[in-house]
Amino acid sequence: MLRRLLALIAGRQGVCSYDELARELGVSRLLVEQLMADLLCSGCLRMAVDECTVEGCTSCSFHTSCSLPGGVRLWELTEKGRRWLAQPQGSSAQRP
């Protein structure tokens, strides 16, 4: 599930909300928050921008791909996270 979440974040260029990720994964928002905390603690993910503001949308480099008004966070995969996603799924490194 961690790997799937990380891949989702990467596919969205880091622009996503907890609710959106929960819908995509078919799980609760609370579980997504816990999984995100695991990814942050493991060093696979970092918060690039804490919270977007609607007023800042026009100057944001993601304004053309972001459809969520406010409450959006911008996440960034670390080098460790990118390496983990690049590994074959059956490899010995199942967790970051």
3-state secondary structure of 46: strand
Taking phi over 0 as left and psi of -120 to 50 as alpha, with beta for the rest, 25 belongs to alpha
Distance CA 68, CA 84 (A): 28
Distance CA 96, CA 83 (A): 9
- Band the pLDDT of 88: cuts 50, 70, 90: confident
User: What predicted TM-score, i.e. pTM, was given to this entire model?
Assistant: 0.72
Q: What is the pLDDT of residues 28-73, one digit of tens each?
A: 999 999 999 999 999 999 887 655 555 666 666 666 555 555 555 6
- 2-86: in CATH 3.30.390.30: no
